[in-house]
């Protein structure tokens, strides 16, 4: 790589993940001279070993599952054959196109791409690859990495984290254990189950998918278990030992009873969350002290050192790409002189990209009651949706949580097909302070899954058309 013509910038972004590259490109659009340093690949975890390749494998697995049910409407295939090498290559090709696209956007927007580990020298100087660069402002966007569990040593072959799980082995494991019942655990469980594994999820807590509505989670769990995935809560893995044949013997403990047992699996996924990447930056040189690895910021994404900003996973939960993207845009706007810019989102959406999907935004029913709202809910099942029937996907529902006094929507929770795509309307409703009347008076195209949002809004007041309002 040729050496940059200058070592002085208005803004230097450390990290080229979703948050970092959004910040860099937007700042350049606003007229700043920008550099973005990345020690791995442009696109960060999300594009390379997270959101994008995971969704590619989820799609492949769902196509396999769909082929098994096609005979129900008269479409018959021969034996389904899975070429794992080709699947891995296809997945990697998507990643290459997207990361190449980001690199192209850097070039088009005149963002200088610096390759290497970035460390602070002082409050305005960062060293990357042996060269020191100065900047008026700096954004830390270093993201996160998989958390580890003592006793489960990740080798990325028999015991893997989310990065290793993306590389399909030569043979799909007959038995797989997912340690952790959060979004990552469920998505990989879904992938491997659809590709032929017998999958078990174990979760230390009494429930799975923290942060989601309890009613929606209960319905979602039943559907997933019906697909053949075993789910055990209040359960933990104490130790895992890889055998000479590559299998893994795991000691599993029921934390409620203390009962222990040993089970053998062909692959074990450790998916117990993520931890921030803030070590190695020499933050002490600029007077920033992370708490449990997280960097504290205000609503303008400024750290305790005003000209140094931080965005994305390194600033705390929720660790989501779309949160990082928004924070990157906020930081760029503030740095470019927009004093009104701040991170003031009413709610941040969450999604589990399985089939069906579980998606939510805003308050759960329990959270709304705990905040003192007089709560009403409306629920519309996909079993009453004509469009869902044509998609052979009628399990689940849309649930709307509202403030009974004002009719304002507080939260929307969806278990069903394409729930993530439907969530945009729900998120906009929350940001605009919409009421159920606003939604019910909006004409939705027919037949669509989106009509279920309308009917859930009508169901709040027992006026839904396609169900009996009880």
Q: What is the CATH number of the domain that holds 249?
A: 3.50.50.60
- Residue 301 sits at φ, ψ, to 5 deg, of 70, 20
Please provide the size of the chain in residues: 470
Q: Decide if 466 is inside a domain.
A: no
Same domain, 80 and 195: no
For residue 424, the domain's CATH number is 3.30.390.30
Q: Is 2 inside any structural domain?
A: no
Q: Are residues 365 and 393 in the same domain?
A: yes
Task: With residue 257 as reference, give the H or E element that holds it.
Answer: none
How many angstroms separate the CA atoms of 142 and 14, rounded? 6
Q: Say what the pTM is.
A: 0.96
183 and 109 in a common domain: no
Give domain status of residue 242, yes or no: yes
Both tokens assigned to 168? 């399909």
Report whether 419 contacts 401 (CB < 8 A): no
Query: Looking at the domain assignment, is residue 54 inside a domain?
Result: yes
**For 180-303, where are the E strands, in sequence order?**
198-203, 230-233, 235-242, 248-254, 260-265, 267-270, 274-276
Distance from C-alpha of 465 to C-alpha of 435, rounded to nearest angstrom? 19
Q: Are residues 208 and 66 in the same domain?
A: no
Q: Is residue 12 domain-shared with residue 141, that is, in the same domain? A: yes
Token couple for 5: 């013509």
Answer yes or no: is 469 within a domain: no
Instruction: Specify which residues 225 forms β-bridges with.
Output: none
CA 309 from centre of chain: 23
Same domain, 328 and 422: no
Residue 1 lies inside a defined structural domain of this protein: no
How many helices (H) and strands (E) the chain has is answered by 13, 22
The label of the residue with tokens 């088009």 reads: 108
Residue 428 lies in a domain: yes
Distance CA 357, CA 279 (A): 35
Last residue of a domain, one of 252, 272, 292: 272
- Whether residues 120 and 164 share a domain: the answer is no
- Contact at 8 Å (CB) between 450 and 398? no
Answer yes or no: do 43 and 104 share one domain: yes
466 belongs to the catalytic site: no
Angle at 191 between CA 421 and CA 386, to 5 degrees: 40
DSSP calls for 319-336:
--HHHHHHHHHHHHHHHT
Residue 352 pLDDT: 98
Place of tokens 């009509």: 451
Q: Which of 335, 361, 386 is the last residue of a domain?
A: 335
- Alpha carbons 398 and 458: distance in angstroms, whole number: 12
Beta bridge partners of 254: 235
Q: Is residue 470 part of a domain?
A: no
Nearest-angstrom CA–CA distance, 419 and 355: 9
Given the residues 59, 113, 446, 461, select the one marked as catalytic.
446
pLDDT value of residue 69: 86
| Domain extent at residue 259 | 159-272
Give how many domains the chain has, as a whole number: 3
| Same domain assignment for residues 15 and 141 | yes
236 with 288, same domain: the answer is: no
| 31, 112: one domain | yes
Based on C-alpha coordinates, what's the Rg of the chain?
24
**Of the candidates 272, 333, 274, which has an alpha carbon nearest to the alpha carbon of residue 142?**
274
In degrees and rounded to multiples of 5, residue 412 shows phi and psi of: -135, 135
In 3D space, the residue among 436, 443, 445, 442 whose CA is nearest the CA of residue 463 turns out to be 436
**Averaged pLDDT, groups of 10, the chain, 470 residues long:** 77 98 98 97 96 96 91 87 93 97 97 97 96 98 97 97 95 97 98 97 97 97 98 98 98 97 98 96 97 98 98 97 98 97 96 98 98 98 98 97 98 98 97 98 98 98 96
Whether residue 389 is found in the same domain as residue 430: yes
């Amino acid at each position: 790589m040729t050496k940059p013509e200058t070592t002085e910038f208005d803004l230097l972004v450390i990290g080229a993940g979703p948050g970092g590259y959004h910040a860099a490109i937007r700042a350049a659009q606003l007229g700043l001279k920008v550099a973005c340093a990345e020690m791995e690949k442009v696109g960060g975890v999300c594009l390379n070993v997270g959101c994008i390749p995971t969704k590619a494998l989820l799609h492949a697995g769902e196509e396999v599952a769909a082929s098994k049910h096609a005979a129900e409407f008269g479409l018959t295939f021969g034996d389904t054959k899975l070429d794992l090498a080709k699947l891995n290559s296809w997945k990697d090709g998507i990643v290459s196109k997207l990361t190449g696209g980001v690199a192209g956007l850097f070039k088009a927007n005149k963002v200088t791409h610096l390759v290497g580990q970035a460390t602070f020298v002082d409050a305005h100087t960062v060293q990357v690859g042996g060269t020191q660069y100065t900047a008026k402002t700096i954004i830390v966007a270093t993201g996160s990495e998989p958390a580890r569990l003592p006793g489960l040593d990740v080798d990325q072959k028999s015991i893997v984290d989310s990065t290793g799980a993306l590389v399909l082995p030569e043979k799909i494991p007959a038995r797989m254990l997912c340690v952790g019942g959060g979004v990552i655990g469920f998505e990989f469980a879904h992938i491997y189950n659809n590709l032929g594994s017998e999958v078990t999820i174990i979760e230390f807590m009494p429930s799975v998918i923290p942060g989601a509505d309890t009613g929606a989670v209960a319905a979602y769990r039943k559907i997933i278990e019906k697909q053949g995935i075993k789910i055990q809560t209040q359960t933990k893995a104490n130790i895992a030992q890889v055998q000479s044949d590559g299998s893994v013997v795991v000691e599993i403990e029921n934390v409620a009873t203390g009962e222990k047992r040993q089970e053998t699996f062909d692959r074990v996924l450790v998916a117990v969350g993520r931890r921030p990447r803030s070590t190695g930056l020499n933050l002490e040189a600029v007077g920033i002290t992370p708490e449990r690895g997280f960097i504290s910021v205000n609503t303008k994404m400024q750290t305790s050192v005003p000209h140094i900003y931080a965005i994305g996973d390194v600033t705390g939960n929720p660790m989501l790409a779309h949160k990082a993207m928004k924070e990157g845009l906020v930081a760029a706007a503030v740095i470019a002189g927009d004093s009104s810019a701040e991170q003031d989102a009413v709610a941040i959406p969450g999604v589990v990209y399985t089939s069906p999907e579980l998606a939510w935004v805003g308050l759960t029913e329990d959270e709304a009651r705990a905040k003192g709202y007089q709560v009403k809910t409306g629920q519309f099942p996909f079993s009453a949706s004509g469009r869902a029937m044509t998609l052979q996907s009628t399990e689940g529902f849309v649930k709307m949580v509202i403030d009974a006094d004002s009719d304002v929507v507080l939260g929307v929770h969806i278990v069903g097909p394409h729930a993530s795509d439907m969530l945009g309307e729900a998120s906009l409703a929350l940001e605009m302070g919409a009421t159920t009347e606003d939604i019910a008076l909006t004409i939705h195209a027919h037949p669509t899954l989106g009509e279920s949002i309308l009917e859930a809004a009508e169901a709040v007041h027992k006026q839904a058309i396609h169900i009996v309002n009880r």
